[in-house]
Amino acid sequence: MFSFIKNLLGIGPKTDYAALLRQGAMIIDVRTPEEYRNGHLPRSVNIPLDTLKRRLGDLEKDRRIIACCASGMRSGLAKRILRSHGFREVYNGGSWTNLKSLIH
């Protein structure tokens, strides 16, 4: 329970997203195709949240995955979906614009 509260409040060690990418992590942008076309991270793959469950077979369960969206809400849902389907190392990168500033 304590770790849930810490995660909810954003307390605890910060994730080094740049290091995860250097180690081969994949960025999944779960926004709509239109949102993605209006701006996205260069190495990201657009898998809209409403199609994620159908596209699970396109993803490697052993690969680190960083989910992002506009604010962190949809990427948080994507993280839960992926974890519930056996993906081991999934991170909520939050908004793609914030993630961009953390990896450059």
Instruction: Single out the catalytic residue among 20, 59, 67, 69.
Output: 69
69 a catalytic residue: yes
Residues in CB range of 22: below 8 A, 6 or more apart: none
Whole-angstrom distance, CA of residue 80 vs CA of residue 87: 10
Q: What is the DSSP letter of 11?
A: -
Point out the residues that are catalytic: 69
